[in-house]
Every structure is written in C-alpha cells, then in structure tokens.
Amino acid sequence: MSLKTSNLAFKARVDREVHNEIMRKAVVKAQETIGTNRQKMVDELGHWEEWRDLSKQIRNHVLANLDAYLYQLSEKVMENGGKVYFAETAEEATEYIRQVALKKNAKKIVKSKSMVTEEIGLNGILEKEGMQVIETDLGEYLLQISGDKPSHIVVPAIHKDRHQIRKDLHEKLGYEGAETPEDMTRFVREKIRQDFLEADIGISGCNFAVAETGSVCLVTNEGNLRLATTLPKTHIAVMGMERLAPTFQEVDVLITMLARSAVGARLTGYNTWLTGPRLAGETDGPEEFHLVIVDNGRSDILASEFQEVLRCIRCGACLNTCPAYRQIGGHGYGSIYPGPIGAVISPLLGGYDEFKELPYACSLCNACNSVCPVRIPLAQLILKHREKMVEQGKTPALERLSIFGFGFANSHPTLWKIGVNTGAKLAGKLIKNGKAPIKMGALAEWTKARDLPTPEGESFRQWFNKRGAN
C-alpha cells in the first residue's frame, strides 16, 4: 500500500513543516481564497443546510445498498461493452492493471488526477515494468517531475509557490520563461501534448459511477482528462467501491456540492461522462474500457463504527478550513489523505501502527464538521480513534500509566485530596517563569509554546474555604 508519503517520524515531519515558511504562506493564502469563494457559492445556492441533508441521505442510501448498486453497475458496464474487475486489495488492483498494460505492450501511459491510484501505488508498479507514466494534471505533473508528493486531495501542489515551481521547471525541464502561471502552464502543456498522442493507455479515477447507466463521471478543472480518455486505445478507470450514485439525478446534487465545497465554483471546468468504449461508427474514445473497483479495506470500514467516513466525496473542504492543516500542511500527516479526513481514513486503511499519531493532529474544534457537504462527523470519528487506540493499548506506555494513575486517584477521595494539596504546594515552589521542572511527555510538549500560570501554592478547595471564611 502507498498511503505513506514519508518515512520520517511524526514529530520530525511536523517540526519540518512548521518551519517551512513557503508552505505555510501558500496554504494560508489558498485556505483564505478557497474559503471566501466557497462561502460565496454557498450563499448563492441558498438552503445550504438542506442540500447537505440531501447529500447525506443520498450517500447513506448508497452505502446501505452498496452490494445491489455495485452489481447493477457492473452489469451495465459489461452490457455497454466494458470490462469490470473487483479488487479486494491494492495488490489485486495493481496486478490487474499491470497485466492489461503488459498485454497491450504499453510503453507510455497518461494519467489524470486520481486519489485511489495514489492509494494503491499504481505508478510505481507500472514504472517497474519499464513503462513511462505521465501525470497530466498540472499540479500532479509538477510534483512528479520534482519527486514530490501531493499534499492536498484537490489541489495537490498547494504547498508550493510560483517561485518554487519556476525553479523546478528550470532544473528538471530547462524552462527559461517567465514566472507567471500563464507562461509556466503553457510550457507544461506543450511538453505533454505529444504524450497524449503517443500514449497506449489512459488511466483515470472516478468521482462517481452511475449504477443505472454504467457511466463514469469525472470532474476536473483542466481538459487533460478528456484527452487521456479519448486518444489512447485503452482506458482504465479506477474507483473506490463506495463512489457510486444510483442515477444522474443524485449525481447532479453531489457534483453541485463537490464543486462548491472543493474550490468555491459552481461547477468544475470539465464534467466528463463516459459510458463504455467507443461504438461502431464513433470517431473517438477508447477501443477498450476497463473499470477497476477497489475495496482495499472499505468493506471493513462499512461494517465498523466508522462507516460514516465512506460518505466522503473527496472535496477537501475539511482541509481548507482545518487550523492544524494550516500549520503543518499535507506533508505533516505523512499520508496521501491529509487533514481531518486523513486523520480518520488513514488509520482505517493503513492501520494504527502506521498512522496512530494522526487522530492527535487535531484540536477537535469541529470546523471540519461545519463545512463537510455530506455531514461526516469527522471530529467525533477522530475522538473515536483515540478511544479505540486506548482500548487496544496503542498509546504510549507513559500516557497509559499516567491515565491509570489519574483514574485511580480520582476514584479514591482521600488520596485525591492529599495529592491535590501536595501538588499545589509543590507547584508553587517548582514552577518558575511559566515552566515546569519536569521536561518530558505531554507537559514538555505543551509548555514549548505556552507558559504555565503562576501557582498560588494552594488547591482550589483551600482557596475557596479561605474565601468563605472571610
């Protein structure tokens, strides 16, 4: 699995990103711009909370009937002339795609932006076979040439500014043009234009699949996706098994919520609808269409208390409002799914051993809950992760010992009274200039950026009794 984007320890990643001024300025600017635009679109649409309720109902209905809709979808895709493969694991998904590519003797593959292909580590598998894989989304392409990883679900290169991008283009591709977005974009487009013409296979993700018709819906802000699905003779669409809608009527609602929540737009620049390979007499489109439906742990999530996270439509609104993401960026999370949604879904897909820190990269401020277009209670699910980790003994030993000691003392009034009185006296003597003498554990981390209040050397009850006596 390729959920991980870094082998650095969590604290090392956070420390690195906190001191990355370019990233922090870029993220702040993006959050503010997208947030402002999103609010304009919310106000324009009107009845936003009703739209959220409807979107939640649609997604819940799909999850409750997922087996039936997946069956209907697969039957329709095959009826339309396509091929369907159900992959239980990431390995099964990549192996199927690898075999298709080998049978086609593919040398060059063009890809549109896709989170699920990042999740399963598809690029690396194909590149091991000597195939050239070209990301055609501008942001993804810029990251690919520099060996970087996405740091946002919707805006993958959000952590870079135009100065860094110009430097990367110059060093990797010999770009000598201006630092303007228009000039740099034109240069990249000219670079990959020939790749579209030469590609043997086009690979895309899938925003929504329509069970009624067997159609695949893809939304982008660039025209590269249509080229990746039109020019190559083979098109492979990869979708998470939950990314379904019963009919186009429901997709209409979901796309409306997706575009407005993701980038603050009424609609994305391109809305592409694909229903199987080209038919007789048609002049464009692939000769062969494959739909790879990926489970990769989603069935387990569906059967768990975290089921609600599968409502996610990958809009990134929670990232755009999260104060923790604002400080550490996507790379601080060490997962291709960063931010609040990443704090929930990464431990579910990758396990606590790999991502146990992510549920703690959150202040539980509930900002993510308020913007989620499908009403996922992200803060509550993050808290549930913390509870599960405690139950499973995944938290640090010192933390578990401290909690046990606190619980024991709290359940014995006499011991609690003695401890509080003694602690108050010691605190009054030991805390100096806002710092505790013990520089370890959570207390040390907390006081890095905060001063402890100057203690009076007495407990609250002692203070209260003294006040009452006066």
Query: Encoding tokens for residue 359?
Result: 């549920």
Tell me the three state secondary structure of residue 218: strand
Spatial CA neighbour of 228 closest among 112, 127, 131 = 112
pLDDT at 426: 66
Instruction: State the Cα–Cα distance between residues 81 and 126, nearest whole angstrom.
Output: 25
Query: Encoding tokens for residue 117?
Result: 């292909």
pLDDT in tens, 273-292: 999 898 888 888 899 999 99
Residue where the block lists tokens 């990958």: 314
- pLDDT surpassing 80 at residue 122: yes
Beta bridge partners of 289: 235
- The DSSP code for 432 is B
Instruction: State the Cα–Cα distance between residues 110 and 102, nearest whole angstrom.
Output: 15
pLDDT band at 428 (very low <50, low <70, confident <90, very high): low
In whole angstroms, how far apart are CA 231 and each of 225, 235, 241, 404? 10, 9, 26, 63
Domains for the chain: give ranges and CATH numbers: 10-300 (3.40.50.10420), 398-469 (no CATH)
Taking all residues of the chain, what is their mean pLDDT, rounded to a whole number? 90
Query: Encoding tokens for residue 4?
Result: 């991980």
CA end-to-end span of the chain, whole Å?
67
Integer Rg of the chain from CA: 26
Contacts for 347 with CB less than 8 Å, ≥ 6 apart: 354, 355, 356, 358, 359, 385
Phi, psi of 163 (to 5 degrees): -65, -45
pLDDT in tens, 139-190: 999 999 999 999 999 999 999 989 999 999 999 999 999 999 999 999 999 9
pLDDT at 284: 82
Mean pLDDT for the stretch of residues 109-137: 94
pLDDT in tens, 179-232: 999 999 999 999 898 999 999 999 999 999 999 999 999 998 888 888 889 889
pLDDT band at 460 (very low <50, low <70, confident <90, very high): confident
- pLDDT surpassing 80 at residue 430: no
pLDDT in tens, 130-146: 999 999 999 999 999 99
- pLDDT surpassing 70 at residue 46: yes
Q: Tell me whether residue 432 is exposed, middle or buried, using C-beta atoms within 10 angstroms of its C-beta: 0 to 12, 13 to 18, 19 or more.
A: exposed
pLDDT at 59: 98
Mean pLDDT for the stretch of residues 105-117: 94
pLDDT at 226: 86
- pLDDT surpassing 70 at residue 353: yes
pTM: 0.89
Residue percentage of the chain with pLDDT more than 70 = 89
